[in-house]
Amino acid sequence: MSSNLPTIDDLLKKNQKQEDVTANAKQRIASALNISSSEVQEKFKKKINEVNLKEKEYETMKLAQRLHLPHIDLDKFPISHEALKQIPRTEAQRLKTVCFFYDQDEIRIGAMNPVNVEVLDLLEQLQDKNQAEGGLYVISENSFNRVMRLYDNLPEVKPITKDVNISVEDLDEVASIITDLNSFQELLKKRSTSDILTLFLGAALKLDASDIHVEAEKDQITIRFRLDGILHDAAEIPRSAYERLISRIKLVASLKINVTDKPQDGRFTMRLPDGDVDLRVSTMPTVFGESVVMRLLHQSREGLDLDSMGLKGAAYAKLRQEIERPSGMVITTGPTGSGKTTTMYAIMKIINKPGVKIITLEDPVEYRMEGINQSQVDFSKGYDFAKGLKSILRQDPDIAMVGEIRDLETAETAIQAALTGHLILSTIHTNNAAGVIPRFLSMGVKPFLLAPALNAVIGQRLVRRICPHCIEEEELDIRTLEKVGKAIENMSEEVKKSLDIENFKFYKGKGCKECSGIGYKGRIGIFEIFSITPEIEKMILGGRTSEYDIQQAAINNGMVTMVQDGIIKALEKLTTLEEVFRVAE
C-alpha cells in the first residue's frame, strides 16, 4: 500500500475539520441573522423539502400530460366539507383519490393513479349519485396528503341510513289516538313537530293510505292521504313545520336537500315489527314550494289472489285456462292506478311452481316475490324495457313479465317470445280490453304475428268497497236506473238468467268511524276478459280492428263488460253504482 494514501486517522481529522467549518459557517450565519444555529438548520431542511416538492409536482404534471389529463396542485386549494364527504376516508386512502370540488352541477376528483379502473368506476358512481358532470385530475402525493389532513377537521356524523325505525310504542300511541282523518289533525295540534314524519307515517299506516301528499299552497301547507284510490284532506301544518318535514324526507330518501328547483326521486324503508314498508318518494318544485308524494308499498303483504280481487265465475275460469297455456301473451290494460300490476302478481302467484322459471322486468320493482327473478329497468343507463326483455329471454325463462309495452321494439320482442314457446305477461294503456288490439297495430305490429301470439286480454278498474259497518239500502234516481237497464239489456242471456231481476236492490255506505265517515273501506276490481277466438283472429287478419267491432265480437262470445261486472258486484253488496259509473262509464 502506498504511503501517500491517507490513513484512517487522517480522514477522521479531515472530516472533523469540515464539520467544524460547516458548524462555524452556520454559527456565523446565525449570529448575523440573530437566530440560533438549530433554526438555521431547520430553514435549510425546509428549503430542501420545498425544492423536492416542486420537483415531484413537476413530475406529476408531466405524468398528467402523458395521460392527457388535467393536473392540479391542491396545496392551497380551498376544499369544502361537502366535497370531502363524497368519498369516505378509508376509500380515499385505499385508492389514493380525493374529491376536491363539489356542487349541484359538477363534481371533481383528484387521483395519484388516475388509470386505476376502480378510480374510474368511483367517478362514474359519484356522477350517477349526484346527477352531476364529473372531472378527473392528476394530483401529487403532497396534494393527496394535504387533503387527507383535512379529514381530521371533518365533523364526525353518524352514517345516514335509508331505513326509518318506528317503535311498536310509537305506532300503538298513534293508533290509539287516530280513528279518522279529523283525529289526525287534532293530534298534530297537540304534538310537537320535532318528529312530524313519524306521525305522518304512523297515521298513514293506521288509516291504510296508499300515498301521502304534501302540497304547498299560498296560505297553508296541506297534507292529503289517498284512501282506496281517492285523495282526502288529512291535515294542515305551519310553514315552519313544512320546511323541517321536507328536509327530513329528503334526508332519509337520499335526496339533495339544497336542490329545490328540480324534480327528484328517492326511496327509503320503514322497518316495522310485522314487516317492512318501502316508500317511493317524488319531489317537484311548485309556485309556493316543493310538492312531495310518498307511495307506501307493503312488502309483508302476501300477494292477493284473483278471487279476493273480485275475479270469479266464467271470467276467472277463462283466465285460468289461458295462463296455464305454455306460450302466448296475456295482456292487462287500464289507466294508471287501476290495479294492473297487482293482477300480474296474482297471476304469477298461481303459476309460480317448482320447475318453472319466471323473470320480471319492472319499473320499479314494487313487491318482492320468492322464487321469481325480478329485474328493474334503468333508463339512465340504457336498460329499458326493449333491451331488458332481450336480456331476460337469454336467461332461458319459461315465463316473462314485462311491466309495460310502450313501443314497437318491446312489442315485437314480446310477440316473438310468445311465438317461440314463452308465456309473456304484460300491461298496456288503453281504455278497455277491446282497445288493446288496435293499440298494438298502431305501434306497427304486424297483424299476422299478433293474432296467433295473443292469448287473452284483461280490462280492469278498481272500485271502492262499501263499508260493511254502515251499509244501507240505496234509492236510485231515474237516470241511474236507465243506465242499469241499458247495461243489463246488453248482457248475454246466460248472465241474465243468473240475476234476480225482479228483486234488484242496491246499497251504499252511510259513513261511520270505521271508514272515517267516507262510506267505503277497501277496494275490489271490476273486469272484462276475452280470449282470442277464431272469429276475432279472422277480424285481426282481415283488417276489422276497430274497438267497437272487437268488443261486440267478444260480447257475442260471452264477455261480461266492466260496467256489467260492476253492476253484478253492486247487487252483491260489494260496491255502489256510483263507484261503478265513476270509473267505467
| Model confidence at 70: pLDDT above 80 | yes
* CA atoms of 445 and 439, how far apart (whole Å): 9
Closest CA to 277 of 227, 362, 344, 210: 210
Beta-sheet strand order (sheet of 454-466): 373-376, 358-362, 399-402, 423-428, 328-333, 454-466, 520-531
Query: What is residue 21's predicted lDDT score, i.e. its pLDDT?
Result: 54
Burial of 303 (0-12, 13-18, 19+ CB in 10 A): middle
pLDDT level of residue 32 (50, 70, 90 thresholds): low
pLDDT, tens digit, 9 for 90 and up, residues 176-189: 677 677 777 777 76
Per-residue pLDDT, averaged over 341-350, amounts to: 91
Sequence-distant (≥ 6) Cβ neighbours of residue 154 within 8 angstroms:
81, 84, 85, 89
Query: What is residue 101's predicted lDDT score, i.e. its pLDDT?
Result: 92
| E strands, 238-345, in order | 264-271, 277-286, 289-298, 328-333
| Model confidence at 127: pLDDT above 50 | yes
| Model confidence at 3: pLDDT above 60 | no
Q: Cell 285456462 appears where?
A: 321
* CA atoms of 252 and 166, how far apart (whole Å): 13
**What DSSP state is assigned to residue 115?**
T
One-character DSSP codes across 433-457: GGGHHHHHHHHT--HHHHHHHEEEE
**Average pLDDT over all residues of the chain:** 84
| Model confidence at 260: pLDDT above 70 | yes
Query: What is residue 15's predicted lDDT score, i.e. its pLDDT?
Result: 55
Residues composing the chain:
585
Q: What are the b/e assignments for 308-335, b being 16+ CB within 10 Å? A: ebbbeeebbebbeebbeeebbbbbbbbe
| Model confidence at 473: pLDDT above 70 | yes
| Model confidence at 42: pLDDT above 70 | no
Closest CA to 371 of 388, 358, 384: 358
Query: What is residue 27's predicted lDDT score, i.e. its pLDDT?
Result: 61
The C-alpha angle 387, 391, 395, rounded to 5 degrees, equals: 165
Q: How many CA atoms lie within 13 A of 136 on its CB side?
A: 23
Highest mean pLDDT among 32-41, 195-204, 420-429: 420-429
Bridge partner residues of 458 (DSSP): 332, 529
Secondary structure of residue 333 in the 3-state scheme? strand
C-alpha cell of 202?
304512523
Backbone conformation region of residue 463, classed left if phi is above 0, alpha if psi is from -120 to 50, else beta:
beta
Beta-sheet strand order (sheet of 133-138): 97-102, 106-111, 133-138
Q: Containing H/E element for 52? A: helix 37-67
Instruction: State residue 263 phi and psi, 5-degree precision.
Output: -65, 145
Alpha-carbon separation of residue 8 from 3, 14, 16, 66, 503 (angstroms): 13, 10, 12, 51, 129
Query: What is residue 159's predicted lDDT score, i.e. its pLDDT?
Result: 40
Q: Cell 310537537 appears where?
A: 192
**What DSSP state is assigned to residue 553?**
H
Per-residue pLDDT, averaged over 299-318, amounts to: 78
Query: What is residue 284's predicted lDDT score, i.e. its pLDDT?
Result: 95
Secondary structure of residue 298 in the 3-state scheme? strand
| Model confidence at 425: pLDDT above 60 | yes
Query: What is residue 161's predicted lDDT score, i.e. its pLDDT?
Result: 47
* CA atoms of 77 and 422, how far apart (whole Å): 60
Closest CA to 322 of 533, 164, 503, 166: 533
* CA atoms of 173 and 195, how far apart (whole Å): 14
| Model confidence at 292: pLDDT above 60 | yes
Query: What is residue 157's predicted lDDT score, i.e. its pLDDT?
Result: 45
pLDDT level of residue 36 (50, 70, 90 thresholds): low
C-alpha cell of 525?
276490481
| Model confidence at 423: pLDDT above 80 | yes
Q: What are the b/e assignments for 44-73, b being 16+ CB within 10 Å? A: eeeeeeeeebeeebeebeebbeeeebebbb
* CA atoms of 529 and 426, how far apart (whole Å): 15
Secondary structure of residue 426 in the 3-state scheme? strand
pLDDT, tens digit, 9 for 90 and up, residues 540-552: 999 888 999 999 9
